[in-house]
Amino acid sequence: MEYLLIALKLVVSLGILNVWVLRRDKPTDYRGQAAQTLREEFAVYGLPAWVFSVIGVTKVILATALLLSLWWTALAQPSAIALGLIMVVAFAMHLKVKDAAIKSVPALAVLAMCVGIALL
């Protein structure tokens, strides 16, 4: 079970860091509507520009905390819960703009992994 927890922490933390640090300005099939970047995606959802910055910084901090929880286990549960809540909102945003179901898969997958981390 310990290896599963480590794997979940690595997948979630490195995945979020990949999206928000390396790929934030690159198109993917999972962005809301026809957005090509994360910033455009937030605009599609009708969110103000400052929300993009706050969520970006928050996700990077939480992903880093989740990575650090490999050594400091007390960081795991609060980080996973907070990231999970953000994923619930991400899923709701996809529903709001009536995206195809496939676009919600990353948010739901990360949510499921965060639930696993919080419960293990």
Give residue-wise pLDDT tens across range 91-105: 999 999 999 999 999
User: What pLDDT is attached to residue 71?
Assistant: 97
- What is the pLDDT, as a whole number, of residue 76? 98
Which spans in 2-75 are helix H?
2-17, 38-44, 49-68
Give the chain's domain count.
Answer: 1
- What DSSP assignment string belongs to 20-33? IIISTTS--TTSST
**Count of other CB atoms within 10 angstroms of residue 1:** 6
Mean pLDDT of the chain: 96
Cβ contact 25:38 at 8 Å: yes
Give the distance, in angstroms, between the CA of residue 119 and the centroid of all CA atoms in the same chain. Answer: 18
- Judging by beta carbons within 10 Å of its beta carbon (0-12, 13-18, 19+), is residue 29 exposed, middle or buried? exposed
Summarize the confidence of residues 46-74 as an average pLDDT: 97
Query: Given this model, what pLDDT does residue 116 score?
Result: 97
Percent of the chain with pLDDT over 90: 99
The pTM (predicted TM-score) of the whole model is: 0.93
Tokens representing 20 are 């928000």
Residue 84 half-sphere exposure, CB side, CA atoms within 13 Å?
A: 17
Domain hosting residue 28, numbered range: 2-119
91: enclosing H helix or E strand: helix 76-96
Average pLDDT over residues 78-89: 98
Q: Are 28 and 41 in contact (CB under 8 A)?
A: no
